A = this chain, B = another copy of it.
Amino acid sequence: MQINNTIMSKQLRSRFVKNAAGRIVPTVVNGIPVIPFRGVNKYRPERLMAAPPVRSCVDYPSDGNKLVKNLKEALKKAGLKSGMTISTHHHLRNGDGLTNVLFDTVKSMGVKNIRWYPSASFPCHDYLIKYLEDGTIHHIEGSMNGPLGRFASEGKMKGTGVLRSHGGRYRAIQDGEVHIDIAVIAAPTADAFGNANGVNGKSACGPLGFALGDSEYADRVIVVTDSLVDFPCVPWHIQGNNVDYVVEVDSLGDRSKIVSGTTQVTKSPDRILIAEYIAQFVEESGIMKNGFSFQAGAGGINLAFLLLLKERMKARGVKARFIRGGSTQYLTEMLEEGLTDFILDGQAFDMEGVRSLRENPNHVSTSPFTSYNFHGKGNFASMLDAVVLGATEVDVNFNANVVTHSDGYLLHGIGGWQDCLSGKCVILAIPSFRDRVPIIVDHVTTLCGPGEMIDVVITERGIAINPLRQDLIKNFSNSKLPIRKIQDIQREVFDICGGAPQPKRSAKKNITAIVQWVDGTILDTVFSTTPNTD
Protein backbone atom coordinates (compact mmCIF):
# COMPACT_ATOMS: atom_id res chain seq x y z
CA MET A 1 0.00 0.00 0.00
CA GLN A 2 1.35 3.39 -0.95
CA ILE A 3 1.71 5.58 2.10
CA ASN A 4 -0.28 8.71 1.82
CA ASN A 5 1.15 11.92 3.17
CA THR A 6 -2.20 13.03 4.44
CA ILE A 7 -2.46 10.17 6.86
CA MET A 8 0.94 10.85 8.36
CA SER A 9 1.25 12.91 11.47
CA LYS A 10 3.16 16.17 11.41
CA GLN A 11 5.76 14.61 13.59
CA LEU A 12 6.34 11.83 11.11
CA ARG A 13 6.36 14.16 8.14
CA SER A 14 9.10 16.19 9.65
CA ARG A 15 11.42 13.19 9.73
CA PHE A 16 10.37 11.64 6.46
CA VAL A 17 10.85 12.41 2.81
CA LYS A 18 9.45 10.99 -0.38
CA ASN A 19 12.18 9.25 -2.35
CA ALA A 20 12.65 8.86 -6.10
CA ALA A 21 10.36 5.84 -6.06
CA GLY A 22 7.64 7.91 -4.41
CA ARG A 23 7.98 6.04 -1.11
CA ILE A 24 8.03 7.74 2.26
CA VAL A 25 11.32 7.03 4.01
CA PRO A 26 13.08 8.34 7.09
CA THR A 27 16.21 10.45 6.78
CA VAL A 28 17.64 9.12 10.03
CA VAL A 29 17.69 5.43 11.02
CA ASN A 30 18.87 4.30 14.45
CA GLY A 31 20.35 7.72 14.91
CA ILE A 32 22.37 7.62 11.70
CA PRO A 33 21.59 9.86 8.71
CA VAL A 34 20.71 7.90 5.59
CA ILE A 35 20.27 8.70 1.92
CA PRO A 36 16.86 8.29 0.29
CA PHE A 37 16.71 6.19 -2.88
CA ARG A 38 17.58 8.33 -5.89
CA GLY A 39 16.61 5.98 -8.67
CA VAL A 40 18.24 2.95 -10.25
CA ASN A 41 21.92 3.61 -11.01
CA LYS A 42 21.57 7.22 -9.88
CA TYR A 43 23.58 7.23 -6.65
CA ARG A 44 27.37 7.20 -6.81
CA PRO A 45 29.29 6.74 -3.59
CA GLU A 46 31.97 9.26 -2.75
CA ARG A 47 33.83 7.67 0.08
CA LEU A 48 36.67 5.36 0.91
CA MET A 49 36.21 1.78 1.98
CA ALA A 50 36.30 0.79 5.62
CA ALA A 51 39.86 0.61 6.92
CA PRO A 52 40.38 -1.98 9.65
CA PRO A 53 43.23 -1.37 12.09
CA VAL A 54 46.59 -2.74 11.04
CA ARG A 55 47.43 -5.77 13.18
CA SER A 56 50.78 -7.33 13.87
CA CYS A 57 52.03 -10.90 14.19
CA VAL A 58 53.64 -9.72 17.42
CA ASP A 59 50.21 -10.02 19.01
CA TYR A 60 49.30 -13.46 17.68
CA PRO A 61 50.71 -16.86 18.66
CA SER A 62 53.65 -17.71 16.41
CA ASP A 63 52.65 -21.39 16.32
CA GLY A 64 49.34 -20.36 14.80
CA ASN A 65 47.30 -21.82 17.63
CA LYS A 66 44.48 -19.38 18.35
CA LEU A 67 42.32 -21.78 20.33
CA VAL A 68 40.68 -20.36 23.42
CA LYS A 69 38.77 -22.47 25.86
CA ASN A 70 35.23 -21.36 25.11
CA LEU A 71 33.06 -18.74 23.49
CA LYS A 72 32.85 -16.62 26.63
CA GLU A 73 36.63 -16.44 26.83
CA ALA A 74 36.80 -15.49 23.16
CA LEU A 75 34.18 -12.76 23.58
CA LYS A 76 36.04 -11.47 26.63
CA LYS A 77 39.34 -11.37 24.77
CA ALA A 78 37.58 -9.70 21.86
CA GLY A 79 36.60 -6.92 24.24
CA LEU A 80 32.84 -7.39 24.10
CA LYS A 81 31.01 -4.38 25.52
CA SER A 82 27.46 -3.11 25.60
CA GLY A 83 26.39 -1.32 22.45
CA MET A 84 28.65 -3.30 20.15
CA THR A 85 27.74 -4.93 16.87
CA ILE A 86 27.99 -8.71 16.63
CA SER A 87 27.61 -10.46 13.30
CA THR A 88 26.72 -14.04 12.40
CA HIS A 89 26.01 -15.87 9.15
CA HIS A 90 23.08 -18.06 8.22
CA HIS A 91 24.70 -20.92 6.31
CA LEU A 92 23.48 -23.28 9.03
CA ARG A 93 19.97 -22.05 8.26
CA ASN A 94 17.27 -23.41 10.54
CA GLY A 95 19.74 -25.84 12.09
CA ASP A 96 21.90 -23.08 13.60
CA GLY A 97 22.47 -23.85 17.25
CA LEU A 98 25.35 -21.46 17.78
CA THR A 99 23.65 -18.08 17.65
CA ASN A 100 21.29 -18.89 20.51
CA VAL A 101 24.25 -20.05 22.62
CA LEU A 102 26.12 -16.92 21.60
CA PHE A 103 23.44 -14.64 22.98
CA ASP A 104 23.06 -16.78 26.11
CA THR A 105 26.75 -16.06 26.61
CA VAL A 106 26.39 -12.35 25.85
CA LYS A 107 23.53 -12.19 28.34
CA SER A 108 25.57 -14.06 30.98
CA MET A 109 28.29 -11.45 30.62
CA GLY A 110 25.83 -8.68 31.50
CA VAL A 111 26.20 -7.03 28.13
CA LYS A 112 23.31 -5.03 26.68
CA ASN A 113 22.12 -3.22 23.59
CA ILE A 114 23.86 -5.34 21.00
CA ARG A 115 23.21 -4.62 17.37
CA TRP A 116 22.88 -8.07 15.87
CA TYR A 117 23.99 -8.17 12.26
CA PRO A 118 23.11 -11.62 10.91
CA SER A 119 23.11 -12.39 7.21
CA ALA A 120 19.67 -13.80 8.02
CA SER A 121 17.68 -15.11 10.96
CA PHE A 122 15.47 -18.19 10.93
CA PRO A 123 12.57 -19.62 12.92
CA CYS A 124 15.09 -21.41 15.20
CA HIS A 125 16.06 -17.95 16.43
CA ASP A 126 12.68 -17.23 18.00
CA TYR A 127 14.58 -18.22 21.15
CA LEU A 128 16.20 -14.78 20.92
CA ILE A 129 12.94 -12.90 21.40
CA LYS A 130 13.60 -12.88 25.14
CA TYR A 131 16.88 -11.09 24.48
CA LEU A 132 15.15 -8.56 22.27
CA GLU A 133 12.69 -8.03 25.11
CA ASP A 134 15.23 -7.74 27.91
CA GLY A 135 17.53 -5.37 26.03
CA THR A 136 20.42 -7.76 25.41
CA ILE A 137 19.80 -7.27 21.71
CA HIS A 138 18.83 -3.74 20.77
CA HIS A 139 17.84 -4.48 17.21
CA ILE A 140 18.48 -6.72 14.23
CA GLU A 141 19.96 -5.57 10.97
CA GLY A 142 19.42 -8.49 8.68
CA SER A 143 16.53 -10.46 7.35
CA MET A 144 14.03 -11.68 9.87
CA ASN A 145 12.34 -14.80 8.57
CA GLY A 146 9.28 -15.87 10.52
CA PRO A 147 8.97 -15.30 14.28
CA LEU A 148 11.49 -12.48 14.65
CA GLY A 149 9.86 -10.70 11.74
CA ARG A 150 6.47 -11.07 13.38
CA PHE A 151 7.87 -9.74 16.66
CA ALA A 152 9.41 -6.72 14.94
CA SER A 153 6.31 -6.14 12.81
CA GLU A 154 4.27 -5.64 15.95
CA GLY A 155 6.51 -2.78 16.97
CA LYS A 156 8.24 -4.68 19.76
CA MET A 157 11.86 -4.29 18.67
CA LYS A 158 13.71 -1.37 20.23
CA GLY A 159 15.63 -0.16 17.22
CA THR A 160 14.76 -0.13 13.56
CA GLY A 161 15.48 -3.18 11.44
CA VAL A 162 17.59 -2.58 8.37
CA LEU A 163 16.90 -4.95 5.52
CA ARG A 164 19.68 -5.41 3.04
CA SER A 165 20.21 -7.84 0.23
CA HIS A 166 23.12 -10.27 0.46
CA GLY A 167 25.15 -7.94 -1.72
CA GLY A 168 23.93 -4.94 0.22
CA ARG A 169 25.11 -6.52 3.45
CA TYR A 170 28.61 -7.04 2.08
CA ARG A 171 28.56 -3.54 0.63
CA ALA A 172 27.53 -2.02 3.95
CA ILE A 173 30.49 -3.69 5.65
CA GLN A 174 32.94 -2.79 2.91
CA ASP A 175 31.68 0.79 2.73
CA GLY A 176 32.06 1.26 6.47
CA GLU A 177 28.32 1.80 6.85
CA VAL A 178 28.18 -1.07 9.32
CA HIS A 179 31.17 -1.50 11.57
CA ILE A 180 31.26 -5.00 13.02
CA ASP A 181 32.97 -5.14 16.38
CA ILE A 182 32.93 -8.92 16.69
CA ALA A 183 32.14 -11.47 14.01
CA VAL A 184 31.21 -14.92 15.26
CA ILE A 185 31.60 -17.39 12.42
CA ALA A 186 30.15 -20.88 12.71
CA ALA A 187 32.56 -23.07 10.77
CA PRO A 188 31.79 -26.71 9.95
CA THR A 189 35.57 -27.26 9.64
CA ALA A 190 38.43 -25.13 10.87
CA ASP A 191 42.01 -25.34 12.01
CA ALA A 192 43.45 -23.67 15.08
CA PHE A 193 44.76 -20.80 12.96
CA GLY A 194 41.20 -19.97 11.89
CA ASN A 195 41.19 -21.24 8.31
CA ALA A 196 37.69 -22.54 7.78
CA ASN A 197 35.29 -24.01 5.27
CA GLY A 198 31.77 -25.34 5.12
CA VAL A 199 32.27 -28.34 2.88
CA ASN A 200 33.74 -30.73 5.44
CA GLY A 201 32.78 -31.74 8.96
CA LYS A 202 29.65 -33.10 10.56
CA SER A 203 27.85 -29.78 10.20
CA ALA A 204 28.87 -29.28 6.55
CA CYS A 205 26.69 -26.63 4.95
CA GLY A 206 28.44 -25.75 1.69
CA PRO A 207 29.86 -22.28 1.05
CA LEU A 208 30.70 -19.84 3.85
CA GLY A 209 30.60 -16.75 1.67
CA PHE A 210 28.04 -14.89 3.78
CA ALA A 211 30.73 -14.56 6.45
CA LEU A 212 33.43 -13.33 4.09
CA GLY A 213 32.94 -9.60 4.59
CA ASP A 214 32.64 -10.13 8.34
CA SER A 215 35.99 -11.92 8.40
CA GLU A 216 37.67 -9.21 6.34
CA TYR A 217 36.44 -6.12 8.13
CA ALA A 218 35.36 -6.95 11.68
CA ASP A 219 37.60 -5.71 14.46
CA ARG A 220 37.68 -9.16 16.01
CA VAL A 221 36.81 -12.45 14.37
CA ILE A 222 35.92 -15.59 16.30
CA VAL A 223 35.68 -18.89 14.43
CA VAL A 224 33.62 -21.55 16.17
CA THR A 225 33.84 -25.10 14.90
CA ASP A 226 32.65 -28.58 15.78
CA SER A 227 35.25 -30.18 13.56
CA LEU A 228 38.74 -28.97 14.32
CA VAL A 229 41.39 -30.26 11.93
CA ASP A 230 45.15 -29.90 11.77
CA PHE A 231 46.48 -26.88 9.95
CA PRO A 232 45.97 -26.33 7.08
CA CYS A 233 42.19 -26.53 6.77
CA VAL A 234 41.80 -26.64 3.00
CA PRO A 235 40.02 -25.01 1.25
CA TRP A 236 40.16 -21.91 3.42
CA HIS A 237 37.02 -20.08 2.43
CA ILE A 238 37.53 -18.06 5.58
CA GLN A 239 41.19 -17.16 5.95
CA GLY A 240 42.88 -17.64 9.28
CA ASN A 241 44.93 -14.53 8.61
CA ASN A 242 41.73 -12.59 9.35
CA VAL A 243 40.82 -14.55 12.48
CA ASP A 244 41.59 -13.67 16.11
CA TYR A 245 40.29 -16.62 18.11
CA VAL A 246 39.13 -20.17 17.48
CA VAL A 247 36.68 -22.01 19.71
CA GLU A 248 35.91 -25.70 19.57
CA VAL A 249 32.40 -26.84 20.47
CA ASP A 250 30.64 -30.18 20.44
CA SER A 251 28.01 -29.19 17.95
CA LEU A 252 27.07 -26.21 15.81
CA GLY A 253 23.46 -27.26 15.64
CA ASP A 254 20.90 -29.65 14.28
CA ARG A 255 22.44 -31.25 11.27
CA SER A 256 19.12 -32.37 9.85
CA LYS A 257 18.04 -28.76 9.54
CA ILE A 258 21.33 -27.24 8.40
CA VAL A 259 20.63 -28.23 4.85
CA SER A 260 16.93 -28.56 4.75
CA GLY A 261 16.64 -31.74 2.74
CA THR A 262 13.09 -30.60 2.03
CA THR A 263 13.76 -29.03 -1.33
CA GLN A 264 10.86 -30.57 -3.19
CA VAL A 265 9.64 -30.09 -6.70
CA THR A 266 6.15 -28.64 -6.57
CA LYS A 267 3.24 -31.01 -7.08
CA SER A 268 0.68 -28.24 -7.47
CA PRO A 269 -0.72 -28.28 -11.02
CA ASP A 270 -0.86 -24.45 -11.05
CA ARG A 271 2.77 -24.16 -10.08
CA ILE A 272 3.88 -26.83 -12.51
CA LEU A 273 2.09 -24.80 -15.16
CA ILE A 274 4.08 -21.72 -14.11
CA ALA A 275 7.29 -23.73 -14.36
CA GLU A 276 6.32 -24.87 -17.85
CA TYR A 277 5.63 -21.29 -18.89
CA ILE A 278 9.05 -20.19 -17.64
CA ALA A 279 10.86 -22.98 -19.45
CA GLN A 280 8.96 -22.27 -22.64
CA PHE A 281 9.60 -18.55 -22.25
CA VAL A 282 13.32 -19.05 -21.74
CA GLU A 283 13.56 -21.25 -24.80
CA GLU A 284 11.33 -19.16 -27.07
CA SER A 285 13.06 -15.92 -26.12
CA GLY A 286 16.33 -17.30 -27.46
CA ILE A 287 17.96 -17.09 -24.02
CA MET A 288 18.45 -20.85 -23.94
CA LYS A 289 21.42 -21.18 -26.23
CA ASN A 290 24.93 -22.57 -25.96
CA GLY A 291 26.97 -20.72 -23.38
CA PHE A 292 24.00 -19.11 -21.64
CA SER A 293 23.66 -18.64 -17.91
CA PHE A 294 20.84 -18.49 -15.44
CA GLN A 295 19.92 -18.51 -11.79
CA ALA A 296 16.93 -20.15 -10.16
CA GLY A 297 16.43 -20.69 -6.46
CA ALA A 298 15.33 -23.73 -4.51
CA GLY A 299 11.59 -23.10 -4.33
CA GLY A 300 9.14 -25.69 -5.65
CA ILE A 301 8.38 -23.79 -8.85
CA ASN A 302 12.04 -23.18 -9.55
CA LEU A 303 12.98 -26.82 -9.13
CA ALA A 304 10.19 -27.86 -11.49
CA PHE A 305 11.42 -25.23 -13.94
CA LEU A 306 14.95 -26.66 -13.71
CA LEU A 307 13.76 -30.15 -14.58
CA LEU A 308 11.75 -28.85 -17.50
CA LEU A 309 14.55 -26.63 -18.76
CA LYS A 310 16.95 -29.53 -18.49
CA GLU A 311 14.76 -31.61 -20.82
CA ARG A 312 14.61 -28.76 -23.30
CA MET A 313 18.38 -28.26 -23.15
CA LYS A 314 18.93 -31.95 -23.78
CA ALA A 315 16.44 -31.98 -26.63
CA ARG A 316 18.13 -29.00 -28.30
CA GLY A 317 21.69 -30.02 -27.44
CA VAL A 318 22.23 -26.83 -25.49
CA LYS A 319 24.87 -26.45 -22.79
CA ALA A 320 25.03 -23.60 -20.29
CA ARG A 321 28.30 -21.92 -19.39
CA PHE A 322 27.29 -21.49 -15.79
CA ILE A 323 24.35 -21.82 -13.46
CA ARG A 324 24.18 -19.91 -10.23
CA GLY A 325 23.20 -21.74 -7.07
CA GLY A 326 21.91 -22.02 -4.22
CA SER A 327 22.72 -25.55 -5.23
CA THR A 328 20.54 -28.62 -5.03
CA GLN A 329 20.77 -32.11 -6.48
CA TYR A 330 18.93 -30.78 -9.51
CA LEU A 331 21.80 -28.42 -10.28
CA THR A 332 24.56 -30.87 -9.49
CA GLU A 333 22.97 -33.42 -11.83
CA MET A 334 23.09 -30.86 -14.62
CA LEU A 335 26.77 -30.27 -13.91
CA GLU A 336 27.51 -33.97 -13.82
CA GLU A 337 25.53 -34.64 -16.98
CA GLY A 338 27.52 -32.01 -18.83
CA LEU A 339 24.64 -29.56 -19.24
CA THR A 340 26.69 -26.75 -17.71
CA ASP A 341 30.39 -26.06 -17.42
CA PHE A 342 30.12 -24.56 -13.95
CA ILE A 343 27.91 -24.04 -10.94
CA LEU A 344 28.75 -20.77 -9.18
CA ASP A 345 27.31 -21.33 -5.78
CA GLY A 346 26.51 -19.02 -2.91
CA GLN A 347 24.82 -21.53 -0.62
CA ALA A 348 23.90 -25.19 -0.61
CA PHE A 349 20.29 -26.21 -0.11
CA ASP A 350 20.83 -29.96 0.13
CA MET A 351 23.56 -32.48 0.90
CA GLU A 352 24.14 -33.17 -2.77
CA GLY A 353 25.01 -29.52 -3.17
CA VAL A 354 27.52 -29.81 -0.35
CA ARG A 355 29.03 -33.00 -1.73
CA SER A 356 29.39 -31.62 -5.22
CA LEU A 357 30.97 -28.42 -3.95
CA ARG A 358 33.48 -30.47 -2.00
CA GLU A 359 34.33 -32.83 -4.85
CA ASN A 360 33.81 -31.08 -8.14
CA PRO A 361 36.29 -28.34 -9.07
CA ASN A 362 33.73 -26.92 -11.49
CA HIS A 363 31.29 -26.39 -8.64
CA VAL A 364 32.72 -23.17 -7.33
CA SER A 365 32.06 -21.39 -4.06
CA THR A 366 31.14 -17.74 -4.47
CA SER A 367 30.44 -14.93 -2.04
CA PRO A 368 28.33 -11.79 -1.90
CA PHE A 369 31.53 -9.98 -2.89
CA THR A 370 31.95 -11.80 -6.18
CA SER A 371 28.30 -12.19 -6.98
CA TYR A 372 26.40 -9.26 -5.62
CA ASN A 373 28.45 -6.37 -4.25
CA PHE A 374 27.10 -3.30 -6.05
CA HIS A 375 30.02 -1.22 -4.90
CA GLY A 376 32.61 -3.40 -6.60
CA LYS A 377 34.12 -3.18 -10.04
CA GLY A 378 31.14 -5.06 -11.42
CA ASN A 379 29.69 -8.28 -10.09
CA PHE A 380 28.41 -11.59 -11.41
CA ALA A 381 24.70 -10.89 -11.07
CA SER A 382 24.42 -8.52 -14.01
CA MET A 383 25.98 -11.08 -16.36
CA LEU A 384 23.20 -13.62 -16.00
CA ASP A 385 21.08 -14.18 -19.08
CA ALA A 386 18.02 -15.15 -17.05
CA VAL A 387 17.01 -15.05 -13.42
CA VAL A 388 13.90 -16.61 -11.96
CA LEU A 389 12.72 -15.07 -8.71
CA GLY A 390 9.70 -15.13 -6.45
CA ALA A 391 7.82 -12.29 -4.77
CA THR A 392 5.12 -11.76 -2.17
CA GLU A 393 3.48 -9.06 -4.30
CA VAL A 394 3.98 -7.32 -7.60
CA ASP A 395 2.13 -4.23 -8.74
CA VAL A 396 0.82 -3.24 -12.12
CA ASN A 397 3.99 -1.23 -12.73
CA PHE A 398 6.08 -4.36 -12.06
CA ASN A 399 7.35 -3.05 -8.73
CA ALA A 400 7.78 -6.00 -6.41
CA ASN A 401 7.76 -6.88 -2.76
CA VAL A 402 9.61 -9.80 -1.27
CA VAL A 403 9.63 -9.07 2.46
CA THR A 404 6.12 -8.31 3.68
CA HIS A 405 2.71 -9.82 3.12
CA SER A 406 -0.27 -7.73 2.17
CA ASP A 407 -1.27 -7.66 5.84
CA GLY A 408 1.93 -5.74 6.52
CA TYR A 409 3.79 -8.47 8.36
CA LEU A 410 7.49 -8.65 7.70
CA LEU A 411 8.16 -12.36 7.36
CA HIS A 412 10.91 -12.75 4.77
CA GLY A 413 14.40 -11.51 4.04
CA ILE A 414 15.58 -10.00 0.80
CA GLY A 415 18.34 -12.56 0.26
CA GLY A 416 20.03 -12.12 -3.11
CA TRP A 417 16.73 -11.07 -4.66
CA GLN A 418 17.50 -7.37 -5.18
CA ASP A 419 21.01 -8.17 -6.37
CA CYS A 420 19.64 -10.55 -9.00
CA LEU A 421 17.43 -7.84 -10.47
CA SER A 422 20.43 -6.66 -12.47
CA GLY A 423 20.28 -9.84 -14.58
CA LYS A 424 19.57 -9.46 -18.28
CA CYS A 425 16.10 -11.01 -18.11
CA VAL A 426 14.43 -10.99 -14.72
CA ILE A 427 11.45 -13.27 -14.43
CA LEU A 428 9.14 -13.17 -11.43
CA ALA A 429 7.44 -16.53 -11.11
CA ILE A 430 4.42 -16.22 -8.86
CA PRO A 431 1.07 -17.82 -8.35
CA SER A 432 -1.60 -15.23 -9.06
CA PHE A 433 -3.04 -15.59 -5.56
CA ARG A 434 -2.12 -17.23 -2.26
CA ASP A 435 -4.71 -18.11 0.40
CA ARG A 436 -7.21 -16.15 -1.68
CA VAL A 437 -5.04 -13.04 -1.48
CA PRO A 438 -4.28 -11.61 -4.94
CA ILE A 439 -0.58 -11.18 -5.61
CA ILE A 440 -0.82 -8.59 -8.37
CA VAL A 441 -1.77 -5.40 -6.55
CA ASP A 442 -2.15 -1.72 -7.37
CA HIS A 443 0.66 -0.71 -5.06
CA VAL A 444 3.03 -3.07 -3.29
CA THR A 445 2.90 -3.01 0.50
CA THR A 446 6.67 -2.69 0.56
CA LEU A 447 8.83 -1.78 -2.39
CA CYS A 448 11.88 -4.04 -2.69
CA GLY A 449 12.50 -4.01 -6.42
CA PRO A 450 11.79 -1.11 -8.81
CA GLY A 451 9.54 -2.17 -11.65
CA GLU A 452 11.95 -1.01 -14.32
CA MET A 453 14.25 -3.90 -13.37
CA ILE A 454 11.63 -6.64 -13.63
CA ASP A 455 11.09 -7.85 -17.15
CA VAL A 456 8.47 -10.55 -16.94
CA VAL A 457 5.85 -11.75 -14.49
CA ILE A 458 4.79 -15.33 -15.02
CA THR A 459 1.67 -16.64 -13.31
CA GLU A 460 -0.47 -19.67 -13.95
CA ARG A 461 -2.99 -17.33 -15.59
CA GLY A 462 -0.63 -15.76 -18.04
CA ILE A 463 2.61 -14.01 -18.68
CA ALA A 464 2.99 -10.24 -18.43
CA ILE A 465 5.95 -8.58 -20.11
CA ASN A 466 7.07 -5.21 -18.83
CA PRO A 467 6.15 -2.55 -21.45
CA LEU A 468 9.75 -1.28 -21.06
CA ARG A 469 10.85 -4.50 -22.80
CA GLN A 470 9.34 -3.84 -26.22
CA ASP A 471 11.98 -6.16 -27.67
CA LEU A 472 10.58 -9.05 -25.68
CA ILE A 473 6.99 -8.09 -26.44
CA LYS A 474 7.80 -8.09 -30.14
CA ASN A 475 9.65 -11.37 -29.82
CA PHE A 476 6.56 -13.00 -28.34
CA SER A 477 3.97 -11.37 -30.60
CA ASN A 478 3.24 -14.67 -32.34
CA SER A 479 3.87 -16.95 -29.41
CA LYS A 480 1.39 -19.54 -28.24
CA LEU A 481 2.27 -18.60 -24.69
CA PRO A 482 -0.49 -16.68 -22.88
CA ILE A 483 1.15 -13.23 -23.06
CA ARG A 484 -1.22 -10.79 -21.37
CA LYS A 485 -1.29 -7.34 -19.89
CA ILE A 486 -0.58 -7.42 -16.20
CA GLN A 487 -3.79 -5.48 -15.53
CA ASP A 488 -5.81 -8.18 -17.28
CA ILE A 489 -4.36 -10.87 -15.09
CA GLN A 490 -4.92 -8.71 -12.03
CA ARG A 491 -8.57 -8.10 -12.92
CA GLU A 492 -9.24 -11.78 -13.40
CA VAL A 493 -7.72 -12.60 -10.02
CA PHE A 494 -9.61 -9.80 -8.27
CA ASP A 495 -12.80 -11.31 -9.69
CA ILE A 496 -11.89 -14.70 -8.28
CA CYS A 497 -10.77 -13.43 -4.86
CA GLY A 498 -13.40 -10.79 -4.38
CA GLY A 499 -11.28 -7.73 -5.00
CA ALA A 500 -7.97 -6.29 -3.91
CA PRO A 501 -6.24 -7.52 -0.75
CA GLN A 502 -7.40 -6.09 2.55
CA PRO A 503 -5.31 -3.04 3.35
CA LYS A 504 -2.99 -3.64 6.25
CA ARG A 505 -3.82 -2.22 9.63
CA SER A 506 -1.08 0.10 10.71
CA ALA A 507 -0.75 3.10 12.97
CA LYS A 508 2.00 4.18 10.54
CA LYS A 509 3.76 5.76 13.45
CA ASN A 510 6.46 3.31 14.29
CA ILE A 511 8.97 1.94 11.90
CA THR A 512 9.66 -1.78 12.00
CA ALA A 513 12.38 -1.68 9.41
CA ILE A 514 13.65 0.09 6.38
CA VAL A 515 14.48 -1.55 3.08
CA GLN A 516 17.77 -0.53 1.54
CA TRP A 517 18.45 -0.58 -2.14
CA VAL A 518 21.64 -2.36 -3.30
CA ASP A 519 23.52 0.94 -3.28
CA GLY A 520 22.69 1.64 0.36
CA THR A 521 20.02 4.27 -0.25
CA ILE A 522 16.63 3.87 1.43
CA LEU A 523 14.03 2.35 -0.85
CA ASP A 524 11.10 1.92 1.47
CA THR A 525 9.80 1.79 5.02
CA VAL A 526 8.08 -1.08 6.79
CA PHE A 527 5.75 0.43 9.36
CA SER A 528 4.71 -1.48 12.40
CA THR A 529 1.31 -3.03 12.19
CA THR A 530 -1.21 -4.09 14.78
CA PRO A 531 -1.95 -7.79 14.75
CA ASN A 532 -4.77 -8.79 12.46
CA THR A 533 -7.71 -9.93 14.53
CA ASP A 534 -9.91 -11.01 11.64
Contacts and interface: CB of A to CB of B under 8 A. Distances in A.
A243 interface: yes
A342 interface: yes
Interface in A365-381: 369-370, 373-380
Contacts of A379: 57, 241
A373 B54 contact: no
A344 interface: yes
A175 interface: yes
Interface stretch (A15-23, A59-67, A266-274, A327-335): A59-67
Nearest to A370: B241
B230 A56 contact: no
Interface stretch (A43-51, A69-77, A84-92, A523-531): A43-51
A44 B379 CA distance: 37
Contact of A382 (B62, B322, B374): B62
A12 interface: no
Contacts of A221: 377
A239 B377 CA distance: 10
Contact of A240 (B44, B54, B377): B377
A57 B382 contact: yes
A395 interface: no
A57 to B, nearest CB: 5
Interface string A463-491: 00000000000000000000000000000
Nearest to A231: B383
Given A230-B321, A377-B242, A382 B48 contact: no
Interface centre among A45, A344, A376, A424 (most CB of B within 10 A): A376
A291 interface: yes
A130 interface: no
Contact of A51 (B50, B193, B383): B50
A362 interface: yes
Contacts of A234: 342, 361-362, 364
A53 B176 CA distance: 11
A54 B321 CA distance: 30
Contacts of A52: 48-49
A10 interface: no
What is the size category of the interface that chain A forms with chain B?
35 or more
B51 A51 contact: yes
Oligomer copy total: 2
A108 interface: no
A47 B53 CA distance: 6
Contacts of A49: 51-54
A377 B244 contact: yes
A291 to B, nearest CB: 7
A241 B174 contact: no
B241 A369 contact: yes
A61 B369 CA distance: 17
A7 interface: no
Nearest to A174: B54
Nearest to A53: B48
Contacts of A47: 53-54
Interface in A340-397: 342, 344, 361-362, 364, 369-370, 373-380, 382-383
A460 interface: no
Interface in A221-268: 221, 230-232, 234-236, 239-244
A60 to B, nearest CB: 4
A58 interface: yes
A118 interface: no
Nearest to A61: B378
A55 interface: yes
A126 interface: no
Given A241-B369, A370-B241, A378 B57 contact: yes
Contacts of A50: 51
A41 interface: yes
A519 interface: yes
A62 B453 CA distance: 13
Given A50-B51, A193-B383, 8 more contacts: A44-B56, A45-B56, A54-B375, A62-B422, A232-B364, A232-B380, A240-B377, A241-B370
- Shortest Cβ-Cβ A-B pairs, 5 listed: A48-B51, A60-B378, A51-B51, A62-B382, A45-B54
26 contacts: A41-B58, A43-B56, A45-B54, A45-B55, A48-B52, A49-B51, A49-B52, A50-B51, A54-B175, A55-B375, A56-B374, A56-B375, A63-B383, A64-B383, A66-B378, A221-B377, A230-B291, A231-B322, A232-B322, A232-B364, A234-B342, A234-B361, A234-B362, A241-B373, A241-B377, A241-B379
